[in-house]
Chains A and B, each alone.
Chain A
Amino acid sequence: MESNKSRREFVKQSSLIAGGLFATKFAGANFFSGADDVIKIALVGCGGRGTGAITQALSTKQNLKLVAMADAFRDRLDDCYKALTSGDESANVKGKVDVPEDRKFTGFDGYLKAIALADVVILATPPGFRPIHFEEAIKQNKHVFMEKPVATDPAGIQKVLAAAAIAKQKKLNVVVGLQRHYQNSYKELYKRKDMIGDITSAQAWWNNDGVWVKKRQPNMTEMEYQMRNWYYFNWLCGDHITEQHIHNIDVVNWFKGGYPVKAQGMGGREVRKGKDYGEIFDHHYVEFEYADGSILNSQCRHQPKTMSRVDELLVGTKGKIQAGAANIIDHKGKVLYQFDKKTENNAYQTEHDELFAAIAKGEYKFADAENGAHSTMTSILGRMATYSGQIIAWDKAINSGISLQPKVYDWKAAPPVVPDDHGLYAVATPGVTKYTFA
């Protein structure tokens, strides 16, 4: 694409590629702002992370406006709107928030309407919804920033991969919130990865206390309860190996330049038990094996008062890359390269700076969705290994068609998992839980 082409033309052209109603209806109309070059954003998912992401987007140097918001819950949307217009962090963004009542959408289908009103869409709901939201955004010819992980099950991964391919054809920029790819220390280490020779093994950690819990309230339907306490339900969250530890697994995939071919591991729930914690494990330990036989030892744990570490280590024939220390050492411990931590950036901001600069210039630069899907799949592979206690092959798992999603998204519908008479949810049991790959 020619660099002098304006952003408006670019957006218009993107719309025209798809042809049809959308382009006819909106192209060329100064639909909301009246200003020629303002880039319109819709936020889908207005929780803490969504509010953070839109704040970062609106803090970039580009001429942007938030024009629509969608969330399953009205109270979450309202909290977000309040934070953006009058909260502690609102100073630089409130002038760019233009979301009257008729552009605030709630419920399970609010995203459809919000996406239609924007040039760029930020997807920050719980990850179970990401595949259908991403698919819709690409269908509607929107550039996308979406949070990690990008799915919770293999069927969702396939949906994201299919939409990612279409996004490429349409030249729609897609950035995924695996922000280490936009972090100076990781980028500098990556540039120098050949200093350690061939990577023969790796370790990855996300060991810490765990995250928030939302208690069940009277009058909540089961669906509402799970949507509120989403971290503990796999159809929404994917377990913490997927929701959180993906960051570390993804770094190893990135440096290895590929994805594992199989995995086996162990896990369970030892400390975080009981009815407030749904069905997820509190620890996983997985051996991921890459095509060249090298192993990633991955561990993640949500247990308070235990050793805490969030980090990655890559071991090569000539040395090691220590991501947390941001350095490269030889096998005797001699430091071969040390990143200067004073030059570290805020990668959460940088990913938005770069995305919106590209969109404003009419450039097609970012296609993160495919890696986002494959790294998410890696974490799902790990979960399937720890849940079953079996060796799980990548090819079989990714093509298994396994879906954890409910048949119907409705407040009164039954979610895919429901509690027993004691309020407890079935938890995977290694050796008993099985995946049958047709």
Chain B
Amino acid sequence: MLLITILTNAQTDTLFKAYTQAVPATNVQFKMVPIPAGTFLMGSPDGDKNAEKDELPQRSFSISAFWMGAYEVTHDEFNLFFQDETFAENSKVDAVTRPTPQYIDLSWGMGTEGGYPANSMQQFTALMYCHWLYKKTGIFFRLPTEAEWEYACRAGTNTTYYFGDNANDLPGHAWYKNNSKSVYHKVGSLKPNPWGLYDILGNVAEWTLDQYDEGYFTKLTAGAADPVLAPTATHPKTVRGGSFEDEAKDLRAANRKSWEASWNQRDPQIPKSRWWLTDASFVGFRVVRPLKQPSAGEAEAFFKLHLRQ
């Protein structure tokens, strides 16, 4: 079975279509869907009464093609990395290093086997997973930029949600405050967006690559290609999509959320864990694979820059 999966994967490498990515030497695999190149309007239109200041003014950006995980990264996938003893734990010198143990269960009993989204990790940890996955597969994965995330979420639409403007339709598409019972759910249980992305709204909020900046739209030039706010500090970075704890307005495609110090409020140590969030069970991530893969040198330079602390 494993061999066949790997061969199939090799064949699909050159074709830009949905495929299943295997993690070598495991029986774990995950689905990637193609996100075609294009141009879109990011942010909220003037006069949108729900728009927050950090979503304005709306800007047009162009985005290169990439694959995106059809689902949020699950505990089953993440634990391969977390428990991969071929890498040292919490090394300050190794390129790829495993997270420290959690002192308490940060899934908070919501489920870790059979397709529940990985959660409670810092952006650093999510990016380290990508670096690990790159080492494992030889394919460059990373977190989406904010612009890539919103572009993929909107999937060619320009409404509040990818299915329209009516929040009453949310329950069929997203786990949020009104239907989640305050816990995350197995990924892919509800309807996907037009490009095949499940739980892109709700369930766990998703880490992006960007430094959070309230003035995102004033810092970036209209018409820019593949915009991103490069890292200037460990915190704050941006999450998107809202979560099982959030209200409908926080699940809007344009909504942006910053890391907050309170996400590690109950971590009794200082420095706070660079791996875990004690008070943000609602945070997770999904990965992207740029169609145009970087060179090995570029990939390592990317991880060096973004994992710098």
Enumerate chain A interface residues (CB-CB to B < 8 A).
47-49, 51-53, 55, 83, 87-89, 208-213, 244, 304-305, 308-310, 324, 346-349
Contact = CB atoms under 8 A, between A and B. Distances in A.
Contacts of A349: 265
Nearest to A215: B88
B265 A346 contact: yes
B48 interface: no
Interface string B22-48: 000000000000000000000000000
> How many residues of B sit at the interface, in one of the four size bands?
20 to 34
B156 to A, nearest CB: 38
Contacts of A309: 105, 109
Nearest to A325: B109
Interface in B89-120: 89-90, 100-105, 107, 109
Interface of B: 83, 89-90, 100-105, 107, 109, 234-235, 261, 265-272
B104 A55 contact: no
A208 B270 contact: no
B269 A49 contact: yes
Contacts of B269: 47-49, 51-52
B88 to A, nearest CB: 10
A212 B83 contact: no
A213 B265 CA distance: 24
Contact of A88 (B83, B100, B107, B272): B272
B101 A209 contact: yes
A212 B269 CA distance: 13
B235 A88 contact: yes
A52 B270 contact: yes
Contacts of A347: 266
B83 A89 contact: no
B308 to A, nearest CB: 14
A209 B79 CA distance: 13
A105 B269 CA distance: 21
Contacts of B235: 88
10 contacts: A48-B268, A51-B269, A88-B271, A208-B103, A208-B105, A210-B101, A211-B103, A213-B89, A304-B83, A309-B105
Contacts of A55: 270
Given A212-B90, A348-B266, A89 B271 contact: yes
A287 to B, nearest CB: 24
Contact of A348 (B83, B100, B268, B271): B268
Contacts of B83: 304-305
Given A304-B83, A348-B266, A87 B101 contact: no
A410 B270 CA distance: 28
A87 B105 contact: no
Given A208-B102, A211-B101, A304-B101, A83 B265 contact: no
B268 A52 contact: yes
B266 A208 contact: no
B102 A87 contact: no
A52 B268 CA distance: 6
B97 to A, nearest CB: 13
A346 B234 CA distance: 23
Contacts of A47: 269
Contacts of B101: 208-212, 304
A347 to B, nearest CB: 8
Contacts of A346: 265-266
B247 to A, nearest CB: 14
Contacts of A305: 83
A244 B101 CA distance: 14
A51 B234 CA distance: 19
A229 to B, nearest CB: 14
Nearest to B88: A215
B268 A89 contact: no
Given A53-B268, A310-B105, A347-B266, 14 more contacts: A48-B270, A49-B268, A49-B269, A51-B270, A55-B270, A83-B271, A89-B272, A209-B102, A211-B103, A304-B101, A308-B104, A308-B107, A309-B105, A346-B266
Given A88-B234, A308-B105, A309-B105, A83 B100 contact: no
Nearest to B264: A89
Contacts of A324: 109
A213 B88 CA distance: 11
A52 B261 CA distance: 14
Contacts of B272: 88-89
Contacts of B102: 208-209
Nearest to B100: A212
Contacts of A304: 83, 101
B258 to A, nearest CB: 14
Contacts of B234: 88
A55 B264 CA distance: 14
B271 A48 contact: yes
Given A208-B101, A208-B105, A309-B105, A87 B271 contact: yes
A102 B9 CA distance: 64
B268 A87 contact: no
A75 to B, nearest CB: 13
Contacts of B265: 346, 349
A89 B261 contact: yes
B232 to A, nearest CB: 13
Contacts of B107: 308
B227 to A, nearest CB: 26
Contacts of B266: 346-348
B90 A208 contact: no
A315 B287 CA distance: 45
A244 B104 CA distance: 10
Contacts of A89: 261, 270-272
Contacts of B261: 89
A232 to B, nearest CB: 14
Given A89-B261, A212-B90, A346-B266, A51 B103 contact: no
Nearest to A244: B103
**Most B-side CB within 10 Å, residue of A87, A304, A310, A349:** A304
A438 B267 CA distance: 43
A145 to B, nearest CB: 13
